[in-house]
Structure 1
Amino acid sequence: MYTDILIPTDGSDNVEPAVQYGLDLAGRYDATVHALHIVDSSPIERKLELTALEIDLETLPDTWYDAGDAATQQIATRAAEHGLEAVTEVRRGFPAREIRSYITDTGIDLVCMGTRGHSGLDRFLLGSVTTRIVRTVDIPVLSVKSKLTEALSESEKRGGFEDILVPTDGSKPAREAVTHALDLARTYDATLHALYVVDRGAYASRPGWTWDELQQVLEQNGDTVVEDVQSRAAADGVSVAAEITHGVPHQAIGEYCDQHGIDLIVMGTHGRSGISRRLIGSVTERVLRNSDEPVLTIRGV
């Protein structure tokens, strides 16, 4: 399913969990690892837009490029230790723009990116580069929260998955997410958890319905959706657990993760209706903000 995996790196400890997962995924799928560093010229370029100064961006300090070479080579060395092919590159420019360009140029089919955790503003911004990539690329993106190395669990240090959650509402993006989740569960010999949330908030958008009427319809849809996942899992020889619960979707997803030791969430990025390319989708965005688990987002096309 994945043949070329991109790991953008700034050389900081923030990206270490994403590197771990990226290397493990590459090993499982025999994929090529692409380590990419962007020399961020955006602050300088933005200032130049407001002044009459002319600066040759090609003359940026060599140390900036040296740091990128060191960061990407470190990933390449670790990939080689696992018998994996690796490609390194250092580019200059606006990070999100250059990452998207690299994805297009090289045929990347999975991106593993670190985020800055969720304290202060980062809880709402995710890390602006990661957010922009999730919102604007058409390939799967694995977003991994930054943690101190000593705070990583054993599974996080290994980079593997044992319990994979796929929240689903039966929409096309959600079904595509199920496809990826099934493949990952089969590859890792993991248990797949299918979760359907009867959304209490849906009542407000259905004037003329009683809650009992709407709840019955939603529960029936949930039965159909989780039965479909169970059927697909059985056909693929994947162990599956399914549950229908009630509540606010992103909160119910978080509670389920805590209760069942989930170590990967796989989600479509649109949900029930077509949402602007520039938006993630409200449920997925809230999960990305609040989840401690890695989140693999699959864009519905």
Structure 2
Amino acid sequence: MTGGSTPLGESPPSAKSAVIATDLSAASKTMIESETGLSCLDRIGVDRIHLVTVVPSNVHSGMPGMNFQKRRKEALRAYRSTIENAGFEVETHVVRGTPHRRINGIAESIAADLILVGSRGKSPLENRVIGSTARNLARTTVVPLLVDRIERGVDDPDPIRRHLFKRTLFATDFSENAERAFQAFEYLRHATEEVTLVHVESPKDDAGGEADPDERLADLADRLGDWGLDARTEVRRGDPAKEILAAETEYDPSTLLVGSRGRSRLRRLLLGSVSEEVVARATGNVFLVPPPRTA
């Protein structure tokens, strides 16, 4: 199946809204101006985009040498034009406060289907990939979050993976949260050509009591087949985060699809250690599907 095609007799994906968070940086500009990326959003059913920029509370337009308001208006005008020319309806939101909290708040208030945030690639001085706002969003979002990797260390960066969902690697521990993430293929399939299903057996896993992981992955592959997608499967053994990242290196997907696991009954949801490590250290894009707010 070719990504983006809809077989005869099959309904296109239902209309969705997306929040694109921008800090007016080169990474944000690259993410928004990617024709391929916008096309991928269109294919999965996004028709309305909410462009959100958050002004930190400690930044003021009257600060010496800074014309924030003018720069912000010019940038948002250009971004809006680019997105509208790609065929989307656009709304812009300029708010003040803590970036990840305000982005989450807007996403919830408009019932967004996903949040998209750009993140620069690895720094030569550090081993982590993800920026602070993207990391905080990953830890707290109750809306599916796509972290779009952008080149680091160049003046005119490119996306590290131009296609958002063309080659998707789905990592599963067969939990309820992993099943929730798997259901995202119901709409991602319209922009997907290749799927790799990976399960990592940890040394801590008990032997017996559960169905064979190869069989469980085969069942998932059959479900994808019903949606017109073929998938390869692999069971790995070792540390889950390390093996998932090793699988990313081996298969070179456009995007890693993972479910996060809430560890608290409080309103703020935290990632489990595996999801957090994957989001922080993956080379390419990561699509994180959180548990529902009531979890």
Into which bin does the TM-score normalised by the smaller protein fall? 0.7 to 0.9
Give the structure 1 partner of residue 53 of structure 2. 37
Deviation sequence 1:15-56 (CA, Å, 0-9, x none): 245433752333222421111111111x36xxxxxxxxxxxx
Unaligned runs of 5+ in 1: 45-56, 204-213
Unaligned runs of 5+ in 2: 1-13
SS of residue in 1 equivalent to 2:50 = strand
Give the structure 2 partner of residue 283 of structure 1. 274
Identical-pair percentage: 23
Give the structure 1 partner of residue 196 of structure 2. 193
Q: Which runs of 4+ in 1 moved over 3 A?
A: 57-62, 120-125, 148-153, 214-218
SS of residue in 2 equivalent to 1:119 = coil
Give the structure 2 partner of residue 171 of structure 1. 175
Quote the offset at 1:81 in angstroms: 1.9
Contact 1:181-1:192 within 8 A present in 2 as well: no
Give the structure 2 partner of residue 84 of structure 1. 88
> 2: CA distance between counterparts of 1:189 and 1:146?
20
1:46-65 to structure 2, matched below 5 A, reads: 63-65=67-69
Does the alignment pair 1:27 with 2:18?
no
Quote the offset at 1:262 in angstroms: 0.9
Quote the offset at 1:10 in angstroms: 1.2
Aligned residue pairs total: 269
Quote the offset at 1:290 in angstroms: 1.0
Give the structure 2 partner of residue 135 of structure 1. 139
Quote the offset at 1:240 in angstroms: 1.1
Amino acid at match of 1:7: I
Match of 2:27 among 11, 14, 19: 14
Across the aligned residues of Structure 1 and Structure 2, the Cα RMSD in angstroms comes to: 2.7
Quote the offset at 1:97 in angstroms: 2.1
Give the structure 2 partner of residue 256 of structure 1. 247
Amino acid at match of 1:75: Y
- Asked which structure has the greater CA Rg, the reply is 1
> 2: CA distance between counterparts of 1:265 and 1:223?
20
CA separation of 1:283 and 1:221: change in aligned 2, threshold 3 A: farther
CA separation of 1:253 and 1:17: change in aligned 2, threshold 3 A: farther
Does the alignment pair 1:266 with 2:257?
yes
> 2: CA distance between counterparts of 1:226 and 1:73?
46
1:226-237 to structure 2, matched below 5 A, reads: 226-237=217-228
CA separation of 1:230 and 1:144: change in aligned 2, threshold 3 A: same
CA separation of 1:2 and 1:264: change in aligned 2, threshold 3 A: farther
Quote the offset at 1:268 in angstroms: 0.4
Amino acid at match of 1:72: L
CA separation of 1:171 and 1:263: change in aligned 2, threshold 3 A: same
TM-score normalised by L of structure 2: 0.81
Quote the offset at 1:150 in angstroms: 5.3
> 2: CA distance between counterparts of 1:2 and 1:283?
32
Quote the offset at 1:83 in angstroms: 1.7
> 2: CA distance between counterparts of 1:17 and 1:109?
22
Quote the offset at 1:181 in angstroms: 3.3
SS of residue in 1 equivalent to 2:183 = helix
Deviation sequence 1:229-271 (CA, Å, 0-9, x none): 112112211111111111211111122122222111110001x
Deviation sequence 1:48-102 (CA, Å, 0-9, x none): xxxxxxxxx7977993222222222222111122122111121122212221221
CA separation of 1:104 and 1:189: change in aligned 2, threshold 3 A: closer
CA separation of 1:2 and 1:168: change in aligned 2, threshold 3 A: farther
Determine which structure has the larger helix proportion and give its number.
Answer: 1
CA separation of 1:182 and 1:244: change in aligned 2, threshold 3 A: farther
SS of residue in 2 equivalent to 1:31 = strand
Amino acid at match of 1:40: P
